[in-house]
Amino acid sequence: MSSDRDEGIARQGEPHVLRGIGDPVVGLLIWAVYFLVVYVAFAVACVIGLGLAEPAIQTGFRVGLAALTVLSLAGIAAHGIARWRAIHTGFMARLAVTLDFVAFFAVLWMLSPILSVPVCR
């Protein structure tokens, strides 16, 4: 028998309402944070003069951003795979997989300028 105090609390194993609403946007949130970090890093790098630095330092900067890209892609892929396995649960799982797919390719698309555009020219 549950008390009045416990009625608003989800039982263990039941999905929480906010998790159900926020779950589809996890991939887009990872992409948004990635986007912000990359552009702030490039802005700060230009302000401190990375464009005039040695090529080895510029390469290290690009490798760091490429590593951040790989981590972001791994996070989005892990979430997408988890939602794919739960796709039988309905619309929200399908929406999550679709948005993760979009976010994955948005992050992948941002990798091309990181690797090809000169730093601060």
Distance CA 77, CA 86 (A): 14
pLDDT at 4: 45
- Residue whose C-alpha is closest to residue 27's, from 79, 84, 88, 85: 79
Handedness of CA 7, 8, 11, 17 (dihedral sign): positive
**Per-block mean pLDDT, blocks of 10 residues, the chain (121 long):** 44 51 84 94 88 86 93 93 78 84 92 82 69
pLDDT at 118: 80
Say which residue the tokens 């194993």 belong to. 13
Q: Is this model's pTM higher than 0.85 or not?
A: no
pLDDT at 16: 53
Give the pair of three-digit tokens for residue 33. Answer: 């944070």
Distance CA 51, CA 57 (A): 10
